[in-house]
A = this chain, B = another copy of it.
């Protein structure tokens, strides 16, 4: 079976760890111990992954050294995390495969993902990235910024400094918010397909991929981030995957979460899942994007399964997880 696997961020930088390189390598090693079952079972895998914590850390480093080193924009930072995480994943999955005597190339391909410059997200940046700023820090930055001489409303929840949008978040601190446009194409998709056809495992589209827009024939980088889930759904369609396997913290999606009627959802049609989404069963900050990606795949005629790393193999055999099917 050809499967796109979307690894949650905590499969790389585990919650409750400091994020030392040795810890990230160990977390990835443990994830690969599970993924290796899928490869050994003969599935063709495309692996994609989140990068939120890693980009957040790079933004903190960039801020700390801003007087010495020019900061890189978000498309370049995504590329850096594709390198960083792609390295750990290919190394550890390669090790796990060799330990099983399975000889399959595992290769990370740097992935540019095309977005539409007319995507409404560019006019309404709303994805928080990077460090929290206090009111005072933001005021200081605002005063230093050239051309930002206009009076501002101290009660406003949004500010623009040097062309970057900031928003007041829960707790009263501020964070930068950036556009999160939808992915429409993957530049390197032919190479991903070739690698699969030659028996390889492809790691790509990490952190949603480097966002690029087309201007004439040219691609250029965008000051945006792409969500991991819609890129995973797009990859599944572009490689004609038989399933999108979204690996998260839980064995299955829960209905009526947090109430006494809470129960796992085993199988659901795309239509019913869309209605549950619209009813607010899955909040945007929680399972919303995951379920939405699964629905997108099922609406395009594919099959999506949401489960935990530990149940991945069971879930592909229909014995675990939440299956979202066409209909």
Contacts and interface: CB of A to CB of B under 8 A. Distances in A.
A94 interface: yes
A219 B29 CA distance: 12
A314 interface: no
A72 B13 CA distance: 13
A79 to B, nearest CB: 4
Contacts of A198: 194
Interface stretch (A103-111, A257-265, A278-286): A103-111
Contact of A84 (B79, B94, B217): B79
Contacts of A61: 58, 61-62, 64-65, 69
Nearest to A191: B107
Interface string A189-214: 01100110010100100000010100
A153 interface: no
A101 to B, nearest CB: 9
A91 interface: yes
A220 B98 CA distance: 13
Interface residues of A, number: 57
Contacts of A68: 60, 64
A95 interface: yes
A99 interface: yes
A182 to B, nearest CB: 20
Interface of A: 18-21, 25, 57-58, 60-65, 68-70, 72-73, 75-76, 79-84, 86-88, 90-91, 94-95, 98-99, 105, 107-110, 112, 187-188, 190-191, 194-195, 198, 200, 203, 210, 212, 217-221
Contacts of A219: 91, 94-95
A86 B83 contact: yes
B217 A98 contact: yes
Given A70-B18, A99-B217, A75 B87 contact: yes
Contacts of A63: 65
Contacts of A110: 82-83, 86-87, 90, 107-110, 203
B108 A109 contact: yes
B60 A65 contact: yes
B190 A91 contact: no
Given A90-B110, A109-B108, A70 B191 contact: no
A90 B110 CA distance: 9
A110 to B, nearest CB: 4
A200 B210 contact: no
